[in-house]
């Protein structure tokens, strides 16, 4: 088991926040299927480079977000057939219809370049194979422990509501990492306060693609879980 500990200074006087995240493979059972109400994905250019700073808007709702440094985004969505509007300086604005479930892979084209008609639909990425129960190598966060700690330092947020109510607990998020490293079907398998459950899910869904698990030298889809402990000290 890999134990990761991160101390976060709180804005509240006299209060220090500690996040301890433990990553393990396999032992947490969970139901299949991604939690509804959230769209996640990655925006890239034709050279497969991530596009940060892309404004992603849920058409007709006014809800929007911006892709992070690695091109990833998380956006709340209550619609069954949503459409996304993407805008980025120097690139064609695009409106794409989301089909399916899972993390999205969206490509933007530079201004002046033709946009293939087939890209009018943002198809959700779905891995065909079933998760491997006992891979030879477990999936890993890119950059290892140092990369994971840097990610937590940048993205972790202790909800103010939970701080005010002095709520401290552990949230377990289960998910699959497919054969190319995409995070699929993330859900809370052991939760506590709704605000902490939501924060734990947000952390997982915003992560960059992982290094996939391997069996017999080949990348495979595997199930893993992330234990995130919220503590007030």
Please give the domain boundaries of the chain with CATH numbers for all domains: 2-32+129-232 (3.30.2420.10), 38-123 (2.60.40.1120)
Q: Return the C-alpha torsion angle 13, 203, 208, 59, nearest 10.
A: -110
Q: What's the pLDDT at 172?
A: 93
Q: What's the pLDDT at 153?
A: 84
Q: How far apart are CA 230 and CA 188, in angstroms?
A: 15
Q: In whole angstroms, what separates CA 53 from the centre of its chain?
A: 17
Q: What is the pTM of this model?
A: 0.53
| Beta bridge partner(s), residue 57 | 64, 85
Q: How far apart are CA 14 and CA 160, in angstroms?
A: 15
Q: What's the pLDDT at 115?
A: 64
Q: What's the pLDDT at 140?
A: 92
Q: How large is the average pLDDT for residues 162-188?
A: 88
Q: What's the pLDDT at 117?
A: 53
Q: How large is the average pLDDT for residues 47-60?
A: 89
Q: What angle do CA 202, 200, 190 make, to 5 degrees?
A: 135
Please say if the pLDDT value at position 13 is more than 50: no
Q: What's the pLDDT at 33?
A: 33
Q: Which two tokens stand for residue 44?
A: 């890239």
């Amino acid at each position: 088991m890999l134990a990761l500990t991160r101390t976060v200074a709180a804005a509240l006087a006299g209060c220090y926040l500690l996040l301890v995240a433990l990553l393990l493979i396999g032992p947490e059972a969970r139901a299949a299927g991604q939690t509804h109400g959230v769209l996640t994905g990655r925006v890239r250019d034709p050279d497969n480079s991530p596009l940060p700073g892309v404004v992603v808007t849920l058409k007709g709702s006014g809800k929007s977000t911006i892709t992070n440094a690695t091109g990833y985004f998380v956006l709340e969505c209550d619609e069954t057939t949503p459409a996304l509007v993407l805008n980025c300086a120097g690139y064609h604005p695009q409106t794409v219809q989301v089909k399916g479930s899972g993390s999205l892979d969206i490509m933007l084209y530079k201004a002046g370049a033709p946009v293939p008609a087939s890209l009018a639909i943002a198809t959700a990425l779905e891995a065909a194979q079933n998760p491997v129960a006992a891979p030879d190598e477990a999936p890993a966060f890119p950059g290892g422990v140092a990369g994971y700690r840097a990610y937590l330092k940048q993205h972790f947020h202790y909800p103010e509501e939970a701080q005010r109510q002095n709520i401290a607990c552990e949230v377990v998020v289960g998910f699959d990492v497919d054969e190319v490293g995409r995070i699929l079907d993330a859900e809370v398998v052991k939760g506590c306060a709704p605000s902490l459950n939501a924060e734990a899910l947000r952390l997982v869904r915003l992560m960059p693609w992982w290094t996939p698990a391997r069996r017999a030298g080949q990348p495979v889809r595997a199930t893993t879980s992330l234990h995130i402990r919220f503590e007030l000290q």
